[in-house]
Structure 1
Amino acid sequence: MRCAEHCAVVANRPVATSQFEMEIHCPTVALYAQPGQFVQIRVQTGYEPLFSRPFSVFRRFPEQGNFSVVYLVRGTFTQLLASKKPGESIFVVGPLGNRFAVAQPAEDTTHLLVAGGVGAPPLYLLAEEMVQNGVPRDRIVVVNGARRRDLVVCQKQFADLGVQLWTVTEDGSLGERGKVTDVLQALYERGELLRDRCQVYTCGPTAMLEAVAKFACKHRLPCQVSMETLMPCGLGVCLGCAVKVRTADGTDYKRACVDGPVFDAAEVVWE
């Protein structure tokens, strides 16, 4: 089920420096969006900015018919998004794309969720779904990273779920100092990532995804990556979100917006 309609902004809350959570009234997305899926948002009807932008679904409030996205104010598009007030409208298409596949049996698997910056929202929705479906909280391990403290996203929400939470920043301003792969290596050395019972899910900047994917490959851990690419249309028409993948005959390209955004990490060709 998918919608393409003007939707009312319910709230546009600042949650950190230059970081906002926008709650939107859209019953279709609120009811049907799954962890890893996204929506395309257009902020106005004119030609500037010309293209819509993809945003992962962060939280769903089905009873109210609302859902939310998290964004950082970085340029013209997100500045316009931040200026939106409750009652004003934006154009929403979604939910789009595929979802993270939860490894089975879920209750006997260590689920390792690795987030980088604004890659955290779909992983929060995944962790929330797991908790609601009865996966033991001690089997859900979240590594939430960013370059510095004010770029860490969804920290409170992960903590409120009661899952195992590791926080890491490159400058050491919050949690451990280093990169998410440093925490992954420490967890591996402690024997907490048994490869026959561990599934990695990750979303964040491409360089981080590549590093996590290579870590997983080295240690033979199954890994799903949610690719953060430009998606001008979100419908597979413009071919602006091509991801190079391995095939039986060599390599080919898939569209992140319709074939993804979630891919098997072993399938992606990192360049």
Structure 2
Amino acid sequence: MAHYQFEGSQYILTIDSPEIAKATKPGQFVHITVSDALAMRRPISIMSVDTENGTFDLLYKVVGEGTRQLAERKIGEVLSVIGPIGNSFEMTDKKRPLLIGGGVGMPPMIAIAQDIKDSDYQPFVILGSEAPFPFDEKLADNNKHYASATHTMPLLEDWGVECRLASLQDYQGVYQGYVTDLAKVYLDSLSVDELAQVEVYSCGPHPMLEAVAKLAKEYDLPCQVSLEEYMACAVGGCAGCVVEVQTDVGPAMKRVCVDGPIFDATAVF
């Protein structure tokens, strides 16, 4: 296990578990015991996997007592982890996936990028954060400018995946505004044929997902979203994470943990 701290009380935790690393699909999460003192586990999205070494990475932010205690875990400690849990993003025949992640909703987008980096898909990733990004952003090699966005995530650059960053903060090389505003800049740069090949995938805070769903509707693009909800059991037993979704036969209550966390945006917003 490795544990790295970044500005803004953000951490990347690497866990050794060959079974989870091998079984994980983009968009899934784990339910992790943060300490012996707290019985309630915490759900955290899987950011990336290393199947060769049998490890996976989690990105989380300290927002309460549970994540505060998780941040105190040391290298070599044994953690109780259940996973992978939930459904996963479904890649379609649309070859230009637009991946939009905000805050701790960035990991599922990175997971998709890793999964398709060696395929014929041409993903474009937009990552947004109001805290400093949990990586050393760098100038993109391809030198394309999308408004003021010139910097990228080094890991995605190494994978050959195009990425740009957005924030309301004034960070160098980062688009100053909402992720959806930067997404519009990208979408407007595409030809009609290229736009027809776009499908949107997103994870982040609820208001951001609502804005992404509205953007997808405006451009007539299919859109899948990953919902973030508080969970107790994470295996569908307690129904503590239910949300209302629209189905062919009317409204229905779905459990984010096992029916999701991935839903079609039109069913939720």
Question: Which residue of structure 2 aligns with residue 3 of structure 1?
Answer: none
Distance 1:152 1:206 in 2: 24
Deviates more, 1:74-83 or 1:14-23: 14-23
Q: How many residues get paired?
A: 252
Question: Which residue of structure 2 aligns with residue 54 of structure 1?
Answer: 43
1:28 and 2:26 are equivalent in the alignment: no
Residue deviations 1:145-172 (CA, integer Å, cap 9, x gap) = 1224347899332233222212110123
Corresponding residue to 2:96 among 110, 118, 125: 110
Question: Which residue of structure 1 aligns with residue 3 of structure 2?
Answer: 12
Structure 2 unaligned runs (5+)? Answer: 138-152
Distance 1:252 1:152 in 2: 40
Question: Which residue of structure 2 aligns with residue 261 of structure 1?
Answer: 261
Residue deviations 1:10-65 (CA, integer Å, cap 9, x gap) = 1111244421111111121011101001000012233x3x4211111112122222
- Structure 1 pair 67–180 and aligned structure 2 pair: CA distance change class (3 A): same
Report the CA distance between 1:189 and its aligned residue: 2.5
Distance 1:111 1:209 in 2: 16
Question: Which residue of structure 2 aligns with residue 226 of structure 1?
Answer: 226
Question: Which residue of structure 2 aligns with residue 66 of structure 1?
Answer: 55
Residue pair 2:109, 2:202 contacting (<8 A) in 1 also: yes
Residue deviations 1:175-197 (CA, integer Å, cap 9, x gap) = 01100111122223223574431
Question: Which residue of structure 1 aligns with residue 202 of structure 2?
Answer: 202
Question: Which residue of structure 2 aligns with residue 236 of structure 1?
Answer: 236
Question: Which residue of structure 2 aligns with residue 91 of structure 1?
Answer: 80
Residue pair 2:6, 2:134 contacting (<8 A) in 1 also: no
Question: Which residue of structure 2 aligns with residue 162 of structure 1?
Answer: 160
The share of aligned pairs that are identical, in percent, is 37
Distance 1:148 1:22 in 2: 18
Residue deviations 1:101-153 (CA, integer Å, cap 9, x gap) = 1122x6xx111000101111111111011113x225xx210111122434789
Report the CA distance between 1:91 and its aligned residue: 1.0
4+ residue stretches of structure 1 with deviation over 4 A? 150-154, 192-195
Distance 1:63 1:86 in 2: 20
Superposition TM-score, scaled by structure 1 size:
0.86
Superposition TM-score, scaled by structure 2 size:
0.87
Q: Residue 235 of structure 2: SS of its match in structure 1?
A: coil
Residue pair 1:120, 1:153 contacting (<8 A) in 2 also: no
Question: Which residue of structure 2 aligns with residue 176 of structure 1?
Answer: 175
Deviates more, 1:12-21 or 1:203-212: 12-21
Match of 1:14, as an amino acid?
Answer: Q
1:145 and 2:128 are equivalent in the alignment: yes
1:131 and 2:129 are equivalent in the alignment: no
CA RMSD after TM alignment:
2.0
Structure 1 unaligned runs (5+)? Answer: 1-9
